[in-house]
Amino acid sequence: MIKEHVKASSSVWWVSILKKYLMGLTGLGLALFVLLHMLGNLFIFAGDKAYNLYMHQMVNMEASSIIQVGLLSAFLLHIILAFILSVKNYFSRLKKYARAASGWKATAWYQKGLIAQGAVILVFVILHLITFKFGVHYKINYGNEEIRDLFRLVVEAFQNPITVVWYIVALLVLFIHLFHGLSSSFQSLGLNHPRFNKSIKGISLVYAVLVTVGYISLPLYVFLFMQEGAG
Ligand code: HEM
């Protein structure tokens, strides 16, 4: 009886460790995606041809490879695990209140705010995909090749001040999520020695600042300095 109980609680422990690892790993994978996506989008500053040809190459590469499947799986797994962890956290908080007198304290490895930030980012990504990935398919010719004119779509989208403000707000939420989420990811992957705490915080902060400044520069630049139809 005791043996079975120990066996059951050790498998619960393993499942919980696995969930934390997967949450950390998918978080790091997504953080890498947002960095690469931001760097690619900086081609906007080089004009329509550079941007469209780069995006064309990326879309072709992604379509014919496992990147697309990997990205989608990481997104879904990250969201599902976040949901499971937040439900679990909710119930442990209920237990905590029931046992308030015992002085027991529920300290989740991830902050509560991460879930709310994640929800904003999810809404952002869905609207973003509708606008760009599944948006109007303008075409443009370079030599004898006709490709999608994503540059025109991006410039068009960021003429609207409401879109620009929404992007800035969502990107600031992404900043907080990246900063806190990266630190949590490193910790759940084992880097939780107090000696590393400061460096992990520092690296996460620099990473989040770079990604956010890079992204925010795009809608701002387009809105302030580019007219629709300009190339
Ligand atoms: C303001 C800056 C941004 C610009 C200008 C931008 C632009 C684009 C464009 C033009 C596409 C369509 C490419 C295609 O057809 O596949 C795209 C796809 C995508 N973007 Fe963004 N993006 C920005 C920020 C972001 C952010 C912050 C995220 C995530 C939090 C994100 C996530 C995605 C995803 C997941 C896709 C689909 C990629 C795929 O299908 O492989 N983007 N973006």
> What is the average per-residue pLDDT within 200-225?
97
Query: Mean of the pLDDT values across residues 147-155?
Result: 97
24-66 per-position pLDDT tens digit? 999 999 999 999 999 999 999 999 999 999 999 998 887 767 8
This prediction has a pTM of: 0.88
In this structure, is residue 231 part of a structural domain?
no
Q: What is the 131 CA–ligand 1 centroid distance (Å)?
A: 9
Q: Are 28 and 128 in contact (CB under 8 A)?
A: no
Among protein residues, the one whose CA lies closest to atom 26 of ligand 1: 34
Q: How far is the CA of 178 from the centre of ligand 1 (A)?
A: 16
102 assigned to some structural domain: yes
Burial class of residue 103 in the structure, from the number of CB atoms within 10 Å of its CB (0-12 exposed, 13-18 middle, 19+ buried): exposed
Q: What is the pLDDT of residue 16?
A: 78
The answer on pLDDT for 109 being more than 70 is no
Please name the residues in contact with 89: beta carbons below 8 A apart, sequence gap of 6 or more. 106, 108, 112
- On the question of pLDDT at 125 being above 80, the answer is yes
Looking at the CA of residue 150, tell me the nearest atom of ligand 1: 10
CB atoms within 10 A of CB 121: 21
Mean predicted lDDT score pLDDT of the chain: 87
Dihedral sign (CA 84, 117, 210, 229): positive
Position 230 in a domain: no
Write out residues with Cβ below 6 Å of ligand 1: 34, 37, 41, 55, 59, 62, 68, 71, 121, 125, 128-129, 132-133, 150, 154, 167, 174, 215, 218-219
Rounded to whole angstroms, the maximal C-alpha distance in the chain is 76
Contact 141, 133 (CB under 8 A): no
Residue 217 is predicted with a pLDDT of: 98
Q: Quick check: is 187 in a domain?
A: yes
Q: Please report which confidence band the pLDDT of residue 120 belongs to, taking 50, 70 and 90 as the band edges.
A: very high
Which residue range forms the structural domain that includes residue 78?
A: 2-225
Q: Ligand 1, from 45, 66, 132, 223: best to mutate by most atoms within 8 Å of Cβ?
A: 132
- Report the separation in Å between the CA atom of 55 and the middle of ligand 1, taken as the mean of its atom positions: 10
What's the CATH code of the domain at 181? 1.20.1300
Structurally, how many domains does the chain consist of? 1
